[in-house]
Amino acid sequence: MKTSYGKLSKIMQERQIKKQDLKENAKLGWSTISKISNNKDVSMEVLKKICDYLKCDIGDIVEFQIGGKNEKN
């Protein structure tokens, strides 16, 4: 299963929120911002912080893509 933060990027673009703003206001580290930028998994706590800052639900910022060429069932 692959993680995608495309929805988060879209929200940030619509609200004109920069990565620096997300980092500071959600109290995240640069390594976490890097993971999100590269569609890597982050903890549920991180997702909660982002949702709290953006006043949204987890489904509004992340989606899981099932399957793919390298995915084994």
pLDDT tens for residues 43-55? 999 999 999 999 9
What local confidence, expressed as pLDDT, does residue 73 receive? 45
pTM: 0.86
**Structural Rg of the chain based on CA atoms:** 13
Q: Is the pLDDT of residue 56 over 70?
A: yes
Coil, helix or strand at residue 35: helix
Can you tell me the distance from the alpha carbon of 71 to that of 1, in angstroms, rounded to the nearest whole number?
Answer: 7
Structure tokens at 21: 């703003």
Residue 70 has pLDDT above 80, yes or no: no
What CATH number should be reported for the domain whose range is 2-65? 1.10.260.40
Give 65's pLDDT tier (boundaries 50, 70, 90). Answer: confident
Among residues of the chain, what percentage have pLDDT more than 90?
A: 86
